[in-house]
Amino acid sequence: MDQARRVLGTAKSSQVRIAVSADLGPDLLAPWRHPTLTIVYADGQIPLEESGMVPAEGQADASLVLRITE
């Protein structure tokens, strides 16, 4: 959830709209589980390094996936 909040802040400053995957979304309202993968859908590029993110070695190592939509 901390990652999603950091990405949201960076997206806002970059004027990019985002949506968070259904796996994390309900947890933001009533936290009771701990998702291991967050998927963020964005309508543009987000400089994730500004959020403190680093590239994963592979998909199995990722805790956040950014999908750019059009």
Q: pLDDT of 20-31, one tens digit each?
A: 886 666 666 777
Q: Is the CB of residue 64 less than 8 Å from the CB of residue 53?
A: yes
Q: How far apart are CA 57 and CA 45, in angstroms?
A: 20
Encode pLDDT of 2-56 as tens digits: 888 898 899 999 999 998 886 666 666 777 766 678 889 999 999 999 989 999 9
CB 63 within 8 A of CB 23: no
Would you call 68 helix, strand, or coil by DSSP? strand
User: What pLDDT is recorded for position 14?
Assistant: 93
Q: For residue 16, what are the β-bridge partners? A: none
What pLDDT score does 69 carry? Answer: 92
Mean pLDDT of 54-65: 89
